[in-house]
A = this chain, B = another copy of it.
């Protein structure tokens, strides 16, 4: 097996999940994740943990849900009781066909999902981590050949996470202490308040309350944006490509918008509800192992030298105790490249210029 699979397993078990001797570890093995499961099992054996592998197959699930009458039992106890006794739940995502659930009618899909809400909650209460094992289906979705996609995934996953977490801690400190963020680039001059908000250092480890591998972003919950912003990185929302989005904010809400591609889809998002025109997230992508757009938000929003803003719902982890933050049925991330002719300021001080942070060599004030 590719040595990188063993390296991936080591990052997952040691850095991300912090597995210790005697831990009960549920390993959720997707259809295409066999090789990573073998490497993870080896690492779990070394750590003296206990493992239980479940099989996560979209084809199996689709067959079950489609043939069921739709009146699903709520949170069957054999699954909740297992998960309640799990210290960690590791999801090895590796679809063999990203469209495998396409034939499930929407109503049944939603009923099945609802019937498992308690199971999801119990899983989220564990030290859960979700990661990606490269498959041909995922390469296809990213528009890459398989070997190129493997390189892409491992470049993103096999970072010096400790060093990256330290870098990201710099950014978190700046955001926590700052009051106002300004982003300036082509067609963009946007300010927003971050006063009193707490940034999350998403360093791909449960120790940082960060549950995806790869990760590599620092995010917070801004408010009162004013000005304009242009998003040059494309995105897919509900199957619709949206590209070249331009938003104008006045008094904290979007008042004017356009898109070079998918303007109707953009309009649908923004008109979902009142909160959909306000900001839910400001994220700084700092994983330079991710250097290209692949139409997977798990990777795209972590891309080095990008900034993303989400319209819609804010994460409570960024808000002062008791504050609700922006509420909306949506949370849609839009990404802009910050590597050229661009800067980010906090309280008037430049913290990133042309893709270089102020604590890095070559930074120009």
Contacts and interface: CB of A to CB of B under 8 A. Distances in A.
A69 interface: yes
A53 interface: yes
Contacts of A69: 48
Contact of A81 (B22, B44, B85): B85
A56 B51 CA distance: 12
Contact of A63 (B24, B38, B78, B79): B38
A29 interface: yes
Contacts of A64: 41-42, 44-45, 51
A52 interface: yes
Interface string A47-62: 0101111111101110
A54 B31 CA distance: 12
Contacts of A24: 76-78
Contacts of A54: 52-55
A46 B50 CA distance: 34
A38 B55 contact: no
A37 B55 contact: yes
A26 B55 CA distance: 11
Contacts of A59: 34, 38
Contacts of A360: none
Interface residues of A, number: 46
A107 interface: no
A39 B55 CA distance: 15
A65 interface: yes
Contacts of A44: 64
A98 B180 CA distance: 64
A43 B34 CA distance: 25
B60 A45 contact: no
Given A45-B68, A81-B85, A85-B81, A76 B63 contact: no
A174 interface: no
Nearest to A81: B81
Nearest to A60: B41
A67 interface: yes
A63 B85 contact: no
A82 B71 contact: no
Contacts of A65: 45
A93 to B, nearest CB: 14
A66 interface: yes
A361 interface: no
A12 interface: no
A253 interface: no
A24 B325 CA distance: 41
A73 interface: yes
A37 B52 contact: no
B71 A45 contact: no
Enumerate the 3 nearest inter-chain pairs by beta-carbon distance, A residue then B residue, closest first: A45-B67, A45-B68, A78-B85
21 contacts: A29-B55, A34-B59, A34-B60, A41-B63, A41-B67, A45-B65, A45-B66, A46-B67, A48-B71, A50-B76, A50-B78, A50-B79, A51-B60, A51-B64, A53-B55, A54-B54, A55-B55, A76-B85, A78-B82, A81-B82, A82-B82
